[in-house]
């Protein structure tokens, strides 16, 4: 590993431990040349996953897009960043565990909606309004009625 201070390629590992989410290893290193310490992270390289959009286009999976949509839906609601990050992690793991190399955007949206339904009703409805592209009040009210019926 290359030292960020002196660019020497010789370093020794002082400490190694898993990160909080368990998806990577945090390594504390010391440069042999300058003696300064720095941290590196080791993560499993995932095979590429592509999202198949409604119009048939394919694009690389980006968990930050999911996070941005959830953040927008949860704006000004009592939802913590830890809860949002947990949803993103679960959706990402589910998408990769399918092991198909690609996933339909509708399936991703359904997974996010399912998670938001458990977390916060308002966030769920906000996300559904954008995801399902409600074009009139009637379709929006139908979705709200389904939510109310499930809660009863």
pLDDT digits (tens, 9 = 90+) for 3-53: 999 999 999 999 999 988 777 899 999 999 999 999 999 987 778 899 999
Domain boundaries, the chain: 11-43, 50-151
pLDDT value of residue 51 = 95
Rounded to whole angstroms, the Cα distance separating 140 from 87 reads: 24
Cα 105 to chain centroid, rounded: 14
Contact 94, 114 (CB under 8 A): no
pTM: 0.66
| Residue 150: C-alpha distances to residues 81, 115, 144, 146 (Å) | 27, 15, 10, 6
Sequence-distant contacts of 81-89: CB under 8 A, at least 24 apart: 83/119, 87/112, 87/115, 87/116, 87/119, 88/63, 89/21, 89/23
């Amino acid at each position: 590993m290359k030292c960020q201070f002196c660019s020497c390629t010789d370093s020794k590992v002082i400490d190694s431990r898993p990160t909080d989410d368990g998806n990577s290893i945090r390594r504390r290193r010391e440069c042999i040349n300058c003696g300064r310490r720095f941290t590196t992270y080791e993560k499993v390289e995932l095979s590429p996953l592509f999202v198949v959009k409604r119009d048939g286009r394919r694009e690389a999976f980006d968990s930050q897009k999911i996070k941005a949509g959830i953040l927008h839906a949860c704006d000004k609601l009592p939802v913590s960043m830890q809860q949002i990050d947990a949803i993103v992690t679960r959706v990402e793991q589910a998408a990769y565990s399918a092991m198909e190399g690609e996933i339909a955007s509708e399936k991703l949206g359904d997974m996010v909606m399912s998670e938001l339904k458990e977390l916060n009703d308002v966030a769920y409805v906000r996300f559904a309004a954008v995801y399902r592209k409600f074009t009139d009040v009637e379709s929006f009210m139908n979705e709200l009625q389904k939510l109310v019926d499930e809660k009863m």
